Amino acid sequence: MRPRHASITLAFALLVAVAAHADEPAGTVASLQGRAESQRTGQPTWTALAVSQSVYVGDRVRTGDASRLKLLMRDDSVITLGARSELVIDAQVVRTDGGTSSLGLAVGALRAIVTERYGTKGSSFEVKTPTAIAGVRGTGFVALVDEDGKRTRVVGLYDVTRVRSITDAAGRHEVQIGPGEMTEIVAGGLPTKPRALPQGELQSLVAPTEMTPGAPSTPTPGGATGVPEEGSGDAGDPATPARPGGGALQRPDAVIDQPIDRLRGPQEPPPPPPRR
């Protein structure tokens, strides 16, 4: 009987460990302009979000009209949602040498800035929409899903983003888009050939995920609104709080509205020119 008792005890301990892991925050609200809500797995109600609050694996997150929400994830990626957008945090496994992350964008606009953590073998970061899957290994892109869910547009911001149709599980017709390029996928179709975007069109597609300078931020649960550091960029975007499971990032970048340089870590100076 003792071996069986030991097996039951071990199984219970594993269940407790899994439950504790599931309760770890997947990310933190770094900035919020307007209104956003989250819905925990198995819960019928939606709860208003505020700066510094946590989101978890399995949560659904949505934004209201004229709203913007920036999440600093536990894996150091930064996710910004535009107005009337809905996101599901499907999975997140964080390792020191990589990890796995999967997000689902049902509708609206999403900007993802992903660290090079996912450049290691066996790691993956994917955003799924009703028609497409965008995968990256340390890059940035914007995904836009039409209200009816029948069209997805993916715009490259940095490095390379891999895009395939949701119906192309093997990725045989996957395309790669670089900075300033776009592909689109309609329901039942394949990604279009990547095309370079004129500056005006690029800006109009990226704009739905930009935090509005000077707009008031939603107060934290304690009642205090995040206040930017003097001279630190856009006036309405609070300093980024400490990320779950790691240290603090001081500020989002004011120009691209994402801390891509800080997330990538300190850059080594170029070597001196050879002596003649």
For the chain, helix, strand, coil in percent to 5 are 15, 35, 50
On whether residue 273 sits in a domain, the answer given is: no
Residue 77 identity (one-letter amino acid): S
Please say whether the dihedral angle defined by the alpha carbons of residues 73, 128, 125 and 210, taken in this order, is positive or negative.
Answer: negative
274 located within any domain: no
Report which residue type is found at 261. Answer: D
**What is the structure's pLDDT at 118?**
73
268 is a domain residue: no
Closest CA to 85 of 211, 208, 205: 208
Q: How far apart are CA 241 and CA 228, in angstroms?
A: 11
Domain that holds residue 174: 2-263
Tokens 């934004």 correspond to what residue? 63
Torsion of CA 143, 146, 147, 148, to 10 degrees: -120
Question: Would residue 275 count as lying in a domain?
Answer: no
Q: Along the chain (276 residues), what's the average pLDDT of each consecutive run of 10 residues?
A: 46 38 81 95 92 95 96 91 97 82 96 80 88 87 97 94 94 95 97 97 95 64 38 35 38 40 43 55
The pLDDT score that the predictor gives to residue 83 is 97
- Give a yes or no: residue 30 inside a domain: yes
pLDDT of residue 253: 36
Phi and psi angles of residue 229, each rounded to the nearest 5 degrees, phi first = -70, 150
pTM over 0.85: no
Q: Which pLDDT tens digit goes with each residue over 121-159?
A: 777 889 999 999 998 877 899 999 999 999 999 999 988
Q: Which two tokens stand for residue 110?
A: 């999403």
Residue 87 lies in a domain: yes
Query: What's the pLDDT score for residue 275?
Result: 60
* Total domain count, the chain: 1
CATH number reported for the structural domain that contains residue 155 in this entry: 2.60.120.1440
In a domain, 145, yes or no: yes
Instruction: Tell me whether residue 270 is in a domain.
Output: no
Q: What is the DSSP letter of 266?
A: P
pLDDT tens, residue by residue, 196-225: 999 999 999 999 999 876 665 655 554 443
